[in-house]
Structure 1
Amino acid sequence: MIVLHHVPQSRSMRVLWLLNELEGVEFRVVTHAFDKSLRQPEFLSLSPAGRVPALEIEGERMFESGAMMEYLCETFPERGMGRMPGDMDRMAYLVWLHFAETVSQHVAILTQQHIVLREDHMRSPTVMRLEAARLRKCYGAIEARLSTPVENRDYLLTGGYSACDIAVGQAVYMAQHFATLEGFPETAKWYGRLSERAAYQAALPEENGARIYEQAFYAAPEEDARG
């Protein structure tokens, strides 16, 4: 049995989304709060940095979402979510699968600035504006990829939908709390296609459940409040 340790609206969402796409693969989800309980010894035995996701599989434990996605795709290659060595999309698959973390690192900084730091004097309006701009740079990279004149460029890989769309799509899901997709039409259409998938919808937080982001959007301050 596969066990995923999950916090809604965190990086573990991408692993949950992938598991939902792996038709016929049995798994169980253990949901955790986004709080100090992740620093308790019991959870640290699963993820030594005290972060989600953590994955228990075949008696082993994993604690990096990108590694989990690669491992799951390689363990269940017949599901078609990965691109194995020798596949024409192999190089692009690795690039885009891990590009999700480029997006996510900017989201993490903005999450800290807007949500984790509770007092205004702790926050930096300059950092907020810079990181939101960096998210838009990431959107630009996705937009350029999706705008490439290749037949059937509905997804990031030429061969069609894959774990890359899941990983990057989930990062964009979080990023849109800080930077909209306005001005990135192909990216918006791509994200719209992803959000229609049942596996994506099943990975979203429950309607009245706990979540990291209580607002749909957190705007970066226009001016430094400290002068």
Structure 2
Amino acid sequence: MITLYHVPQSRSMRVLWLLNELEVEYRLVEMPFDGSLGTEEFLTRSPAGRVPALEIEGERMFESGAMVEYLCERFPERGIGRLPGAMDRMAWLVWVHFAETLSQHVAALTQQHIVLAPEDRSAAVMRIEVAHLHQCYAAIEARLSTPVENRDYLLTGGYSAADICVGQAVYMARHFAPLDDYPEATAWFERIAERQSYQDALPGDAANCMFAQPFYPAPGE
């Protein structure tokens, strides 16, 4: 049995989306975005006190990128991983892990807007991190604008876990930086957001969500 420990709207959403796409049986344990991630019990599953945490047949994992690689290798029949030797393997690895670059800037903005008290927030940090998000959006836009056949997704070979990972990071990032100025990235995000696996990964209970509002403007916006 696979058990995923999950905070809605956080990085664990990408693993939940992937599990939905793989169509494998799993148990979901939804955690609130509060101090419960730092309890002694949860730290045995994730030593940094972060989600996702994954249990699979008695073994434990606590890094989302590793989970994505492992699950795609364990369940290759769905074809959303790219195994060694595959044409898109290098690009798949790059984009799966690029999601973490994007997510780090989201994490900094989440800390500024949500975790810190208003008097401890930095307008300069917020503006810098939003600028970094736009740099990431520009990289996605450039990739999707490459004039090759079948550029509906990040990989030439079509939809993959790379779209899941980057798409989920963009889902979080849009709470701080709009995607409107990037037409190819916007069309791509809308395309992958139509998938049932994505819809089923969206938060159901607003009480446990990481974000209390749909958009957090930077100071001066």
State whether TM-score is above 0.5: yes
Letter in structure 2 aligned against 1:20: N
Letter in structure 2 aligned against 1:213: F
Aligned match of 1:21:
21
Letter in structure 2 aligned against 1:28: R
Structure 1 residues 208, 131: closer, same or farther in 2, change over 3 A? closer
Q: What is the deviation of 1:208?
A: 4.2
Structure 1: gaps spanning 5 or more residues: none
Separation (CA, whole Å) in 2 of partners of 1:132 and 1:197: 28
Q: What is the deviation of 1:66?
A: 0.4
Aligned match of 2:107:
108
Separation (CA, whole Å) in 2 of partners of 1:163 and 1:181: 21
Separation (CA, whole Å) in 1 of partners of 2:211 and 2:120: 19
TM-score by length of 2: 0.98
Contact kept, 8 Å, 2:31 with 2:208, in 1: the verdict is no
Structure 2: gaps spanning 5 or more residues: none
TM-score by length of 1: 0.96
Separation (CA, whole Å) in 2 of partners of 1:93 and 1:14: 15
- The range that moved more, 7-16 or 203-212, is 203-212
Structure 1 residues 180, 21: closer, same or farther in 2, change over 3 A? same
1:14-63: per-residue Cα shift (whole Å, max 9, x none)? 0000000002x110100111111111111000001100000000210000
Structure 1 outlier segments of 4+, above 4 Å = none
Aligned match of 2:154:
156
The number of residue pairs the alignment matches comes to 221
Separation (CA, whole Å) in 1 of partners of 2:19 and 2:107: 23
Separation (CA, whole Å) in 2 of partners of 1:117 and 1:209: 19
Contact kept, 8 Å, 2:82 with 2:92, in 1: the verdict is yes
Contact kept, 8 Å, 2:4 with 2:28, in 1: the verdict is yes
Letter in structure 1 aligned against 2:6: H
Aligned match of 2:29:
30
Secondary structure class of the residue paired with 1:56? strand
Secondary structure class of the residue paired with 2:99? helix
Aligned match of 1:192:
190
Structure 1 residues 175, 184: closer, same or farther in 2, change over 3 A? same
Separation (CA, whole Å) in 2 of partners of 1:183 and 1:64: 32
**What is the root-mean-square deviation of aligned Cα atoms in Å?**
1.0
Alignment of 1:1-227 (within 5 A): 1-23=1-23, 25-118=24-117, 120-206=118-204, 208-222=206-220
Separation (CA, whole Å) in 2 of partners of 1:207 and 1:64: 24
Q: How much identity, in percent, do the aligned residues show?
A: 71
